[in-house]
Amino acid sequence: MRIKKDNLPTKGDLRKTLHRNLKFNATEQYKLLRTNISFTLPENIKCPIIGVTSSIRGEGKSTTAINLAYVYAESGKRVLLIDGDLRLPSVAKKMKIDGSTGLTNFLLDSNKIEIEKYRTEINEKWYVFPCGPIPPNPSELLASRKMEKLLEMLSEYFDCIIIDLPPVNIVSDAVAISKYLTGMILVVRQNYTEKEEYENCKRQLKLSNVNVLGLVMNGVNNGKSYYSNYKYKRYYKYYASQEYQQNNGDEQ
């Protein structure tokens, strides 16, 4: 079941879906997501590294990753959001920050990272690494030993790292980096993601032994979704569609 044309998000929706512009209920759902993630993580982990992916394009991965990073920072954690979509990066554009340097530069030379340069003005605990120049070999870079070393180094500095990734059914990048992650969050968008696509994605993640921490239901406009029949080991729901916010939300 594809999303109908008239349900497609408009440009204005982007502004409404990001951190400080969120309505109260949506912010609360992201906080709940943060709490639920903490329950699924091993207790002794110093800096969880969490990937955010989905089955296809446009399900809300980047929106989820940005907002999740925001609520982590708001809770006092030093958080790093990395744009790991090295094919169609969008974090810098969405956040209106300079995207000229970022992850791909640091993978070439990790000594060149001036971490403080990547602190956001939104919250002093929130840092963002844009993608940087688009590389010819995203999958290999994400799976590389350099990536592992970079994440090890960054884990010493941050309390949490969130990586926005491309969709599983389109490219192998998310699976490629998964061996360096504490876990993966899977975003599913109501009235958009087809059942077969979701099943295919789930199968691929299982085959690759990816530790899926949970499922985020994006754009749910009531308490029930057609995915509610699915049995999923650990999952949580995220209700943040504009309609839901309008019906239930107060302004922040």
Under rule CB under 5 A, residue 189 binds Mg ion: no
Closer Cβ to ligand ATP, 62 or 120, answer by number: 62
We find the least distance from the C-beta atom of residue 38 to ligand ATP, in angstroms, to be 22
Closer Cβ to ligand ATP, 99 or 167, answer by number: 167
Under rule CB under 6 A, residue 74 binds ligand ATP: no
**Amino acid, single-letter form, for residue 231:** K
Choices 10-18, 68-76, 123-131, 155-163 (CB under 6 A): range interacting with ligand ATP: 10-18
Distances (CA, A) of 127 to 22, 97, 131, 159: 20, 11, 13, 11
Under rule CB under 6 A, residue 90 binds ligand ATP: yes
We find the least distance from the C-beta atom of residue 88 to ligand ATP, in angstroms, to be 5
Closer Cβ to ligand ATP, 183 or 219, answer by number: 219
Closer Cβ to Mg ion, 113 or 187, answer by number: 187
Q: Do residues 243 and 223 make contact, with C-beta atoms less than 8 angstroms apart?
A: no
State how beta strands 79-83 and 126-129 pair. parallel
Q: How many residues line the site for Mg ion (CB under 5 A)?
A: 3
Choices 41-49, 116-124, 174-182, 236-244 (CB under 6 A): range interacting with ligand ATP: 236-244
Closer Cβ to ligand ATP, 35 or 246, answer by number: 246
Closer Cβ to ligand ATP, 21 or 100, answer by number: 21
Which residues, other chains included, contact 62 with Cβ-Cβ below 8 Å and sequence gap of 6+?
52, 83, 85, 90, 91, 94, 164
Under rule CB under 5 A, residue 61 binds Mg ion: yes
Distance of CA 184 to the CA centre of its chain: 9
Q: Which residues inside 34-73 make contact with ligand ATP, applying CB under 6 A? A: 54, 57-63
Q: Which residues inside 105-134 make contact with Mg ion, applying CB under 5 A? A: none
**Binding stretches for Mg ion (CB under 5 A):** 61-62, 90
**Binding stretches for ligand ATP (CB under 6 A):** 9, 13-14, 17, 54, 57-63, 85, 88, 90, 167, 218-219, 240-242
